[in-house]
C-alpha cells in the first residue's frame, strides 16, 4: 500500500512535468536594424523586385523573393510589372560559419555503487554532485543575413533599408529565411535608426510559426506594434 502511494505520487509529478514542458516554446531571435525615409501610403504601395545582371536566372534569389513578397503583402504592398511599380525592392543575403568554444562542466560521483535514498530520490540525502572540472568543447555556429532595400523607381531615392541577422546551429540559409523575412518587415515601417530584437516561435516543420512575433528593443520613434505583438523594452 505504501509503495502504491509513492507510485501514484511519482506518476502525478511526471504528468505535471510533461504538461509544463509541452507548453514551452523555442524562439528564433533576430536583430533588426532599419533606416527609413518612408512617406508612402497604402494606395501607392506597388513594387517590383530588382536584380543585378548576373542574378536574372537565380533560383535561390527567386525563393527568397517569395518569402519577402509574402511579408510585404501583409503591409498592403502589391507586386506589379516593373514599369508600373512605384518602388523597387532589392535583396541581399548571405551566411557565415564560425566556431565557438564553450566550457562544459564535468561531474564526479564519489559513490561508485548505486545509492537510493528516500523513495524515488536518486541523489539520496547528499543532493546533486558539484562540478569538479570543466572541459572545452567546440561547436559550429552560423550567422544568417537578409537585407531589404526599397527605392523609388522614378527617382532612385532610397526610402527604406532594413537588415535582419540571426545566429545559431542552423546550417541552411533557406530554412532561416522565413524568420529573417518576417523579422525584417515586422511592424513596417520602423523609424529611422531603429535597432531591436524580434523573437518568432520556432515551427517544428522548419518555417515561421503562425504565432505573432514578439518584438523588443529600444525603437526610436517607432510606430505601435502590430496587433498581438509584444514589445519588450
Q: Write the pLDDT tens digit of every residue in 23-79.
A: 445 899 999 999 999 987 778 899 999 999 989 999 999 999 999 999 999 999 999
Between residues 13 and 108, which one has the greater pLDDT?
Answer: 108
Rounded CA separation 84/213 (Å): 32
Strand order in the sheet with 214-217: 78-79, 46-49, 87-107, 131-152, 158-168, 27-36, 194-201, 214-217, 231-232
Looking at the predicted structure, is the pLDDT value of residue 22 above 90? no
What are the CA-CA distances from residue 221 to residues 29, 34, 72, 181, 190 (Å)? 22, 12, 21, 22, 8
Span 69-123, pLDDT tens digits: 999 999 999 999 999 999 999 999 999 999 888 888 877 666 555 544 445 555 5
Predicted local distance difference test score (pLDDT) of residue 192: 97
Beta bridge partners of 163: 33, 147
Tell me the domain boundaries of the chain.
25-101+138-232
Tell me how far apart the alpha carbons of residues 160 and 77 are, in angstroms, rounded to a whole number: 14
pLDDT, tens digit (0-9, with 9 covering 90-100), for 136-186 = 888 899 999 999 999 999 999 999 999 999 999 999 999 999 999 999 999
State pTM to two decimals. Answer: 0.70
Find out whether the peptide bond into 62 is cis, omega within 30 degrees of 0. Answer: no
How many whole angstroms separate alpha carbon 132 and alpha carbon 130?
A: 6
What class does CATH assign to 25-101+138-232?
alpha beta
226: DSSP letter: P
What 8-state DSSP symbol labels residue 73?
H
User: Which of 9-13, 61-65, 108-112, 203-207 shows the lowest mean pLDDT across its residues?
Assistant: 9-13
- In what helix (H) or strand (E) does residue 183 lie, and over which residues does it extend? helix 173-184
Amino acid at each position: 500500500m505504501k509503495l502504491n502511494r509513492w507510485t501514484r505520487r511519482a506518476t502525478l509529478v511526471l504528468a505535471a512535468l510533461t504538461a509544463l514542458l509541452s507548453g514551452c516554446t523555442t524562439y528564433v531571435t533576430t536583430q533588426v536594424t532599419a533606416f527609413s525615409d518612408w512617406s508612402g501610403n497604402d494606395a501607392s504601395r506597388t513594387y517590383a523586385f530588382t536584380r543585378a545582371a548576373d542574378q536574372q536566372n537565380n533560383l535561390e534569389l527567386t525563393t527568397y523573393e517569395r518569402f519577402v513578397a509574402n511579408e510585404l503583402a501583409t503591409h498592403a504592398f502589391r507586386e506589379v510589372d516593373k514599369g508600373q511599380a512605384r518602388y523597387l525592392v532589392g535583396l541581399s543575403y548571405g551566411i557565415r560559419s564560425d566556431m565557438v568554444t564553450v566550457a562544459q562542466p564535468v561531474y564526479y560521483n564519489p559513490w561508485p555503487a548505486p545509492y537510493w535514498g528516500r523513495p524515488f530520490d536518486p541523489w539520496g540525502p547528499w543532493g546533486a554532485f558539484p562540478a569538479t572540472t570543466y572541459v572545452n568543447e567546440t561547436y559550429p555556429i552560423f550567422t544568417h543575413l537578409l537585407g531589404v532595400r526599397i527605392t523609388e523607381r522614378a527617382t532612385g531615392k532610397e526610402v527604406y533599408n532594413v537588415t535582419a541577422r540571426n545566429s545559431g546551429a542552423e546550417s541552411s540559409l533557406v530554412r532561416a529565411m522565413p524568420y529573417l523575412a518576417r523579422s525584417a518587415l515586422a511592424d513596417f515601417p520602423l523609424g529611422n535608426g531603429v535597432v531591436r530584437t524580434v523573437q518568432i516561435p520556432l515551427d517544428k516543420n522548419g518555417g515561421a510559426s503562425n504565432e505573432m512575433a514578439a518584438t523588443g528593443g529600444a525603437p526610436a520613434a517607432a510606430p505601435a506594434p502590430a496587433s498581438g505583438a509584444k514589445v519588450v523594452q
